[in-house]
A and B are shown apart, each in its own frame.
Chain A
Amino acid sequence: MTSVQKKLLGIVVVVAGAGVAIGFYITGFLMSGPTAYHPPVTQGAQKSVNLTIQTVAAVGPTLSPNASWVSYVVRNNQNQWHRTTIWSLPAHTLVHVTVYQFDGDSGLRNPFMAKVRGTVGNTMQVNGKTMNVLNPDDASHTFAVPALGLIVPLKGVADDAKNQCDTAPCTMAEAHNTITFTFRTPGKGRYRWQCFVPCAAGFLDGFGGPMQTLGYMDGFLNVA
């Protein structure tokens, strides 16, 4: 083999190696998104689904490599807290949502988002009390599905509350608010949901990191 042929072979090997590496990187990136959670469906006169989630100020190292990021987590069918924000729901079904809200308040950027809309009765229950609006300054996050006209502001834990949770998964012994509400899923489709509070501490104006990454403060309802 001549020296020219050796050089050409070397170039081919390097280019092929780079191509394989790029392919692995892209495949890994595409496969790294959160997997969908399929809550069990309760059959009856009216199909329904129970969805239990918690919001935490820091998701912690056991649930994410970004341990300090604010996040939603969901309780899965094994009764464990799981970090995924893609939830598969049946169409035209009542979804009973329970949110354990462990994060403190940071206030709504747009106070209009403090009005509960799109739930059954346009209300929510906060620690058992029925409400249709929250003081915008008390909000920590929102659960909002704009395409459904659904928005629920989530009341934050008071700054001076005792026994506050540092990282997920938080326990019921730690300070929290319990918010419950029910909404009805529409027809088949993929609906994004999100938090409207710029709550990404440590990022410019709270907009980066977990606000811009699937699996933390935004996700999808896969309605089928």
Chain B
Amino acid sequence: MTRMGHGGRILALWVVSSAISLPLIAIFLTPHLPPGTGSVEAKGQQVDNEVLTMISVWIALGIFAYFGYVLTAFRLRDADPALDGPPIRGHARAQVLWIVFTTALVLCLAGFGTYELLGGAGGGQGSDPVFKAFSGDAKGTPGDPPLQVQVIAQQWQFTFRYPSEGGFESARFVLPVNRQVELHVTSLDVIHSFWVPALGVKADANPGADNIAYVTPKRIEKLAIHCAELCGLFHGYMFDNTARVVSQSAFTAWAKGMRQFVSSVTHYLPKYHHTYLPDPAFRAG
């Protein structure tokens, strides 16, 4: 039987430690990585985190295997501690292997990341999303277009307008499950950021700008909304945990009730537009 060389032993250590660790991590850790599976976009981000975690652990195991072996196999035993080791003048095979391996790894991750970003991944894509066609895996049938919801930020509350439901505005964020939603995020005053961690949605809210993000909720649940951009005195209070994802029938009922409840103010709202900037004449400053 041929004795295995140093490289083979390190490789064997790496393979064995990976074979033990990676399945354990895949079973017990990665299902709990954020942001969860509340939406198509959140699930996509979770997959990204899973892939990056697995690759990071795999590389870390390789490094640990290498250093563990080297520190054990090449430790100084009987020689004079004062003596320096022989000079190392390069090793073409190791250098090529290193360059090829790291380049391939970086290119693969770049390709994976680019592919994952094609649909916006729950982030704001500006007023004219380049990759709109890739957004979500439930783009809806021709008779079921994405539900438009305008997210209006102001110091210090988000409100939401539903143009396809009569154009009413609500202080509560309610979405139907299993339907793609097209969020138009804007601001009335300073820069805010609309963040729904459980849905994997985060989009900057800029005054006078329309920042579009897509999300397809996959689970009926309560949601928390945060502002993720320092926006003034009560930024820390720009938080709402009354948002929720409901069934399509519950959403229809809610929209009907809300449309009636706020009907007295809806006619005062400006005609629906993707930005929401009032006349400067009505500013005190």
Which A positions have Cβ atoms within 8 angstroms of B? 70, 106-112, 114-115, 117, 132-133, 135-137, 144, 146-147, 149, 192, 194, 196-208, 211-214, 218
Within the assembled complex, what's the spacing in Å between the Cα atoms of A146 and B155? 11
Nearest-CB residue, chain A, relative to B188: A109
Asked if B278 and A212 make an inter-chain contact with CB atoms under 8 angstroms apart, the answer reads no
Asked if B189 and A198 make an inter-chain contact with CB atoms under 8 angstroms apart, the answer reads yes
Asked if B156 and A115 make an inter-chain contact with CB atoms under 8 angstroms apart, the answer reads no
Asked if A198 and B264 make an inter-chain contact with CB atoms under 8 angstroms apart, the answer reads no
8 Å CB contacts to A: which residues of B222-269?
232-234, 237, 240, 262, 264-265, 268-269
CB-CB < 8 A to A146: which residues of B? Answer: 156-157, 171, 237, 240
Asked if B285 and A212 make an inter-chain contact with CB atoms under 8 angstroms apart, the answer reads no
**Proximity string of chain B (160-173) to chain A, C-beta cutoff 8 Å, 1 when within and 0 when not:** 00000000010100
Asked if A194 and B156 make an inter-chain contact with CB atoms under 8 angstroms apart, the answer reads yes
Within the assembled complex, what's the spacing in Å between the Cα atoms of A110 and B283? 11
Q: CB < 8 Å: which of B155, B159, B268, B270 contacts A114?
A: B268
CB-CB < 8 A to B28: which residues of A? Answer: none
Nearest-CB residue, chain A, relative to B236: A192
Asked if B171 and A110 make an inter-chain contact with CB atoms under 8 angstroms apart, the answer reads no
* Chain B interface residue number, banded: 20 to 34
Asked if A132 and B269 make an inter-chain contact with CB atoms under 8 angstroms apart, the answer reads no
Asked if A135 and B283 make an inter-chain contact with CB atoms under 8 angstroms apart, the answer reads no
CB-CB < 8 A to A114: which residues of B? Answer: 265, 268
B284 at the interface (CB under 8 A from A): yes
CB-CB < 8 A to A206: which residues of B? Answer: 283-285
Task: Give 19 new A-B contacts, CB below 8 A, not counting A146-B240, A196-B154, A200-B284.
Answer: A108-B282, A109-B188, A111-B269, A111-B270, A112-B269, A114-B265, A117-B171, A136-B268, A137-B282, A147-B237, A192-B237, A196-B157, A200-B285, A201-B284, A202-B285, A204-B285, A207-B155, A207-B189, A211-B155
CB-CB < 8 A to B276: which residues of A? Answer: 110
Q: CB < 8 Å: which of A106, A112, A196, A204 contacts B282?
A: A106
CB-CB < 8 A to A112: which residues of B? Answer: 159, 169, 171, 262, 265, 269
Q: CB < 8 Å: which of B169, B232, B233, B278 contacts A109?
A: B278
B213 at the interface (CB under 8 A from A): no
Q: CB < 8 Å: which of B237, B269, B282 contacts A107?
A: B282
Residue among A110, A144, A206, A211 with most chain B CB within 10 A: A110
Q: CB < 8 Å: which of A137, A199, A213 contacts B284?
A: A199
The smallest C-beta distance from A97 to any residue of chain B, in angstroms, reads 20
CB-CB < 8 A to A207: which residues of B? Answer: 155, 189-190, 232, 285
Within the assembled complex, what's the spacing in Å between the Cα atoms of A117 and B283? 24
CB-CB < 8 A to B237: which residues of A? Answer: 146-147, 192
Within the assembled complex, what's the spacing in Å between the Cα atoms of A147 and B171? 10
B212 at the interface (CB under 8 A from A): no
Nearest-CB residue, chain B, relative to A190: B237
Within the assembled complex, what's the spacing in Å between the Cα atoms of A203 and B190? 14
CB-CB < 8 A to B171: which residues of A? Answer: 112, 117, 146, 149
